[in-house]
Amino acid sequence: MNNKKTIISKTLNCNNTTTFQTTLEDEIRLIQNPTKEIRELIDKIRELKKSGEDIKPLKRRLPALMINGYFEDRKKENGKLLQYSNVTCLDFDYFKTYPEVFNFKYRLDTNFLIKPYIYAMFLSPSGLGLKVLIKHNNKNPEEHYKLFESLKELFERENLATNLDKSCKDLRRLTFVSYDDSFTFYFNPDSLEFNYESDLNNIDVDSPFPFSTPPIETTTIPEDLGDERILRIFRSNWNKRNVAIGNRNQNLFSMAFECVKGGINKNLTEEVLMKIYLPLGLSKNEISTTISNAYNYSDKFGIKRNWINERYASK
């Protein structure tokens, strides 16, 4: 595993021009396990967003990161870049529902052209956006906008750029700290570097660059474990999660979506998840609607069933 630390700048809030040094890797881990103060503030932001209220005043109280590097300060004209990080953040915003965010994350996870370059992914403070961090090999910070244009073109080729915030080309762009302990959180210290100068010219659109497709081995199809046993396996994993109040809907959808991919009968899924989320304050209608949203992805139904059967057949 790569244990290299990436030096970046952090500021107490978006109105503060003074910066201090931190490491990107430490900040990524804090996103999964933040302080109580940050967690409560972001939970409040997501509750307000859900109810359609203005979240900007609360967001301005959040600390923010300058992921593109370590800067002397935040002043636009004189804020000298002391060290370029070779990691940039792409913001995908303006999703209307949590299922839209989760579906977009799933599309990134299953895209063999883009996924190898992703250093980290996590929910935005509102919960309706996704931050995608990409490692790259650009050595000239003055060409940072060219790097962004190359990445944008790559995502456009894969039909994944609709919600991309174009202001990410700004070298001094701030990224608010966030909180994400759900399945959308992702961190891969060993991700590949995106070569913005040549990768787009060398892509073979007919192959999953940069990885070749592994040979498919002929195996005996394992015996099916059945819905109830697979659900017991899922529940043992769910019990390890922190089903925080601010993330109830997100976690509910992710659990329901796991059941979709596991090929679990919808009625059985609803019966089990009602028992988990009714005591947490969600209404029957909220739970049922969220589960239905997950099961609307009918093309994903049962796609992990054989893998689960094989994985747990002897357990």
Contacts of 232 (CB under 8 A, 6+ apart): none
Stated as kind and residue range, the H or E segment containing 186 is: strand 186-187
Taking each helix axis as running N to C, give the angle between helix 248-261 and helix 266-277, from 0 to 180 degrees, rounded to the nearest 10.
160
pLDDT at residue number 126? 94
pLDDT at residue number 200? 43
Are the C-beta atoms of residues 147 and 88 closer than 8 Å to each other? yes
Give 281 or 24, the one with higher predicted confidence: 24
pLDDT at residue number 242? 58
pLDDT at residue number 212? 31
Give 214 or 20, the one with higher predicted confidence: 20
Q: What is the pLDDT of residues 159-213, one digit of tens each?
A: 999 899 999 999 999 999 999 988 889 999 999 999 876 444 444 444 333 333 3
Write down the domain spans for the chain. Answer: 7-201, 227-312
pLDDT at residue number 164? 95
Residue 127 CB-half CA count within 13 A: 27
Q: What is the pLDDT of residues 39-52, one digit of tens each?
A: 999 999 999 998 88
Sign, Cα dihedral of 101, 107, 108, 109: positive
Percent of the chain with pLDDT over 90: 49
Q: What is the pLDDT of residues 72-90, one digit of tens each?
A: 888 766 568 999 999 999 9
Reported confidence tier of residue 240, pLDDT bands at 50, 70, 90: low
Average pLDDT over residues 262-271: 91
* Cα gap 38→63, rounded to integer Å: 9
Percent of the chain with pLDDT over 70: 86
pLDDT at residue number 171? 93
* Cα gap 232→236, rounded to integer Å: 6
* Cα gap 306→312, rounded to integer Å: 10
Q: Is 250 exposed, middle or buried (0-12, 13-18, 19+ CB in 10 A)?
A: buried
Are the C-beta atoms of residues 87 and 145 closer than 8 Å to each other? no
pLDDT at residue number 86? 95
Q: What is the pLDDT of residues 114-148, one digit of tens each?
A: 999 999 999 999 999 999 999 999 989 999 999 99
pLDDT at residue number 232? 87
The answer to which of 86-100, 121-135, 244-258 has the lowest mean pLDDT is 244-258
Average pLDDT over residues 59-76: 89
